[in-house]
Amino acid sequence: MKIGIVCPYSWDVPGGVQFHIRDLAEHLIALGHEVSVLAPADDETPLPPYVVSAGRAVPVPYNGSVARLNFGFLSAARVRRWLHDGTFDVIHIHEPASPSLGLLACWAAQGPIVATFHTSNPRSRAMIAAYPILQPALEKISARIAVSEYARRTLVEHLGGDAVVIPNGVDVDFFARAEPKAAWQGDTVGFIGRIDEPRKGLPVLMKALPRILAERPGTRLLVAGRGDEEEAVESLPAEMRDRVEFLGMVSDENKARFLRSVDLYVAPNTGGESFGIILVEAMSAGAPVLASDLDAFAQVLDQGGAGELFANEDADALAESAIRLLGDADRRAELRERGSKHVRRFDWSTVGADILSVYETVTTGAAAVATDERSGLRARFGLARD
């Protein structure tokens, strides 16, 4: 099958949607399918052989973060050329309602279109105002996927229609077989995320840290991600700042080793999450997980069965749970075991098969429509059957 995938966000800047698209493309290629991904990217940036650049993205504040999008006449021309050259059996557009390549591709594409919706956010006036512009493009979509129940709910409330829920995928074994790193072991708490993005929750964790250190002074907080490190620790007493170690951006291999090494992974995110891929990665690596009780996180963690939850933005609740878990090796071992079993449902072997089933459904439907149209023409003009 020839599959075209459209990424709305810049390939140069790591993010959950980009990782999902990358892993999906590589999974499909490994199965023997022909895949091309169209994504915003600087033309000078080295790209995987299956990625085609649609030009540089521009940063736009969106959903409590900064999305790097690509839109305009040049982008539209590149989209049309990519579609023309690709002659795809199916086109898979991610975030088709965002003002980026997804919407451009939706306008320009012909044939079967599958769309995946990742966003979870409240109903907004901007979305209501934009609906008349979006509607003609969205009506061309053959099948809709939402990465979680909360992304599906956003789709229904904002745009109408419905979607099948297929979660983000993870190569579980990649994380499970990673080798722990001794320097990251020993009473360690882990955090991965953009340091200077408040909704990722690092300020909440920093607020909880003095109480954690008061009870367990040997604890270290390991932080992986980009941002202003000095600003991140300025709320901490000076004598505690050396208990925080910043690792900067880490490779996929080191992220897996990081998650295999820490005694406790904390996800203190405060909102704007439709899924929680980092929780799935942590469980895959066998890390006990403590997360804020966002609806999406609770769903990923089996309502607390595969990881513990604390009240969102409550630093005292976070500290209390972290202290208890760091002091209870048996409970951490139990969470590791439960998480490792629960996470198998998110492996690409399952998720990829579900997405392929959607592709096959829409392409079969398109072929049936084409056959019916040909039959109608034959009957109209008295032509013989093939």
Do 35 and 157 lie in a common domain? yes
Which residues make Cβ contacts (< 8 Å) with residue 294, sequence separation at least 6?
A: 269, 271, 273, 276, 312
Which structural domain, as residue segments, surrounds residue 313? 174-345
pLDDT digits (tens, 9 = 90+) for 25-70: 999 999 999 999 999 988 778 899 999 998 887 766 655 566 666 6
Q: pTM score, two decimals?
A: 0.85
Residues 273, 212 share a domain: yes
Counting the structural domains of the chain, the total is: 2
Q: Which residues contact 276 (CB under 8 A, 6 or more apart)?
A: 267, 269, 291, 294, 296, 297, 300, 301
Are 23 and 171 in contact by the 8 Å Cβ rule? The answer is yes
Q: What is residue 369's predicted lDDT score, i.e. its pLDDT?
A: 52
What is the tens place of the pLDDT at every residue in 194-213?
A: 998 999 999 999 999 999 99
Domain annotation covers residue 357: yes
Q: Name the least confident of 111-115, 119-123, 230-234.
A: 119-123
- CA dist., res. 33 & res. 359, Å (int): 12
Residue 20 lies in a domain: yes
> What pLDDT is recorded for position 59?
66
In a domain, 254, yes or no: yes
The pLDDT value recorded for residue 384 is 47
**CA angle 370–142–163, rounded 5-degree value:** 150
Query: Residue 89 belongs to what H/E stretch?
Result: none
Please name the amino acid found at residue 250. V
- Report the pLDDT value the prediction gives residue 382, as an integer from 0 to 100: 44
The H-or-E segment that residue 220 falls in is strand 220-224
Same domain assignment for residues 238 and 94:
no
Question: What CA–CA distance (Å, rounded) separates 367 from 365?
Answer: 5
Structure tokens at 27: 């999974």
Same-domain status, 22 and 113: yes
Residues 78, 146 within the same domain? yes
